Amino acid sequence: MPVIHSSDAVTHEIHGARFISYVTPRTGSKELCAWRGGVPPGTKAPAHTVNREEVIHLLDGELLITLDGRTERVLAGDTVLVGPGATLGVENLTEGTAVTWVTTSIGLAADLADGTRIVPPWAN
């Protein structure tokens, strides 16, 4: 039975957010990736267009999620389905860190408005 212990997780940081990677090819996955995210207060991640479907479940806190130009307040317990080709923005206007659980398929990449492509190591 594959168990990924918290001590095996790898932490990454980008654009002010923290990504703690659990499920990746490095830990034995053949198709999926999963990580816990931490979005500190005042963080506004740049809008990015993803190439894979992504599921974002908010475990704690509150976020403003902008998906293809439509902004929605997301609360703990809510889940956001981001389709491939969608443009996603995430912002935390609260005084506490928002905590997410995210799943996607291996090979996720994100394109920023300036043409920069990010291939996150926690999803590849």
Coil, helix or strand at residue 123: helix
Any domain includes 6: no
Least confident segment among 23-27, 77-81, 102-106: 23-27
Split into its structural domains, the chain has a count of 1
Contact 50, 84 (CB under 8 A): yes
Any domain includes 1: no
Any domain includes 3: no
Predicted pLDDT at 80: 98
Any domain includes 41: yes
> What is the percent of the chain where pLDDT is above 90?
94
Predicted pLDDT at 24: 94
Token readout for 67 is 């998906």
CA 80 to CA 72: how far, in whole Å? 10
Any domain includes 4: no
Name the band, by pLDDT with cuts 50, 70 and 90, for residue 1: low
Q: At 93, phi and psi to the nearest 5? A: -95, 0
Any domain includes 2: no
Determine the structural domain holding residue 76 and report its residue range: 11-123
This prediction's pTM: 0.94
Residue 22, CB-side half-sphere exposure with 13 Å CA sphere = 14
CATH classification at residue 32: 2.60.120.10
Contact 45, 90 (CB under 8 A): yes
Q: Mind listing the pLDDT tens digit for each residue in 12-69? A: 999 889 999 999 999 999 999 999 999 999 999 999 999 999 999 999 999 999 999 9
What's the mean per-residue pLDDT of the chain? Answer: 96
